Structures are given as structure tokens and as C-alpha cells.
Amino acid sequence: MTAKVIYEGQLRTRMTHLYSGTEVITDAPLDNHGLAQAFSPTDIVATGLASCMLTVMGIKARDMSVDITGTTAEVTKVMAVEPRRISEVHVTLTFPKNNYTDKEKTILENTAKTCPVAHSLHPDIKQVLQFVW
């Protein structure tokens, strides 16, 4: 088992990662009857895409002896209705100034685009990516 999730009432859950004991709280968003005092479940899905991209790029960068420490990701989630769902995830990845070669940039961009979460999202979810070097 990976995690345990408890519904605490008032549209809040507490997720516990069983291996580390780390906890994450979710709240429903304001536009869906919630308090928006924490990430919503759909926020976590969208943000998970960026986190996955950064993780696999970090692995690839380490293998290539390239330092991407300090790279940031800005995430925007777009919701659709009927049925309510994530329709788009926009991710802007901004890298610290460095003398990245064109080859390194291509490899890292392809690595991000093929991360496990990117492959796991439904093909109808539009992934809009921007790489700022």
C-alpha cells in the first residue's frame, strides 16, 4: 500500500504517505463548495505533473553532469464542466542561467515531456509546456 486517505469532514482529506509518514491535506476549491485552504485533489494532479517533470529531469541532468538546481515550475490548471474535470495543465519551467547546450536542452525537454505522470494523464488533458532557458 502506498498511502492512506481519511475524510475529515467539511470537504477536507488527510493523505498519509505510509513509507515516510508525510501528510498532505486537501480541501475542495472555492468554485466547488470548498474553503480552498489547501491544495485540491485536482491541484495535486496538475502540480504532480510539474513535480514529476522536475524529478525525471533532475535524474537525467545528474546523469549528464548538468546542474538544474533552482529550476522552477509554475502550474496553471484549467477546469472544464459537464463532466467537471481537468481540461488543461499549463507548466512553465524556468531554468537558472547556465550555458546549456542545444543538445542538453533537447534531452531535458524530451525527458520532461515523457515523465510518468505525463504518460498517465488522459490524452484529452491538454499539456501546455513552456521551457524558459
- Domain identity same for 33 and 96: no
84 sits in the region (left: phi over 0; alpha: psi -120 to 50; else beta) called beta
pLDDT of res. 115: 98
Cβ neighbours for 105, distance < 8 A, ≥ 6 positions apart: 131, 133
Beta carbons of 79 and 85 less than 8 angstroms apart? yes
28 and 71 assigned to the same domain: no
Where do the DSSP E strands lie in the chain?
A: 3-9, 12-17, 23-27, 72-80, 85-94, 126-132
At 87, which CATH number?
A: 3.30.300.20
Number of domains in the chain: 2
Tell me the per-residue pLDDT of 73-85, one tens digit each, with 9 for 90 and over: 999 999 999 999 9
Statement to judge: residues 68 and 124 lie in one domain: yes
DSSP states along 21-51: --EEEEE--GGGT---SS--HHHHHHHHHHH
Q: Tell me, yes or no, whether 98 and 125 share the same domain.
A: yes
* Structural domain harbouring 98: 40-132
Are residues 95 and 70 part of one domain?
yes
Other CB atoms within a 10 A radius of the CB of residue 107 amount to 18
Asked if 6 and 71 sit in the same domain, the reply is no
Are 66 and 123 in the same domain?
Answer: yes
Q: What is the structure's pLDDT at 113?
A: 98
Instruction: Verify that 98 and 50 share a domain, yes or no.
Output: yes
Chunked mean pLDDT (size 10), the chain, 133 residues: 97 98 96 94 98 98 98 98 96 97 98 98 98 98
Residue 10 pLDDT = 96
* Residues 28 and 44 both lie in one domain: no
Domain check: are 48 and 104 in the same one?
A: yes
Packed helices 41-63 and 102-113: angle between N→C axes, nearest 10 degrees: 140
pLDDT in tens, 26-41: 999 999 999 999 999 9
What pLDDT, on a 0 to 100 scale, did the predictor assign at position 24? 97
Residue 50's identity, in one-letter code, is: A
Q: What pLDDT, on a 0 to 100 scale, did the predictor assign at position 107?
A: 98
Is pTM beyond 0.85 here?
Answer: yes
Instruction: For residues 35 and 45, state if they share a domain.
Output: no
Determine the Cα angle at 20 with ends 15 and 2, to 5°. Answer: 55
Query: Are 66 and 122 in the same domain?
Result: yes
* Cis status, amide bond into 83, omega within 30 of 0: yes
Predicted local distance difference test score (pLDDT) of residue 40: 97
Residue 103 confidence (pLDDT): 98
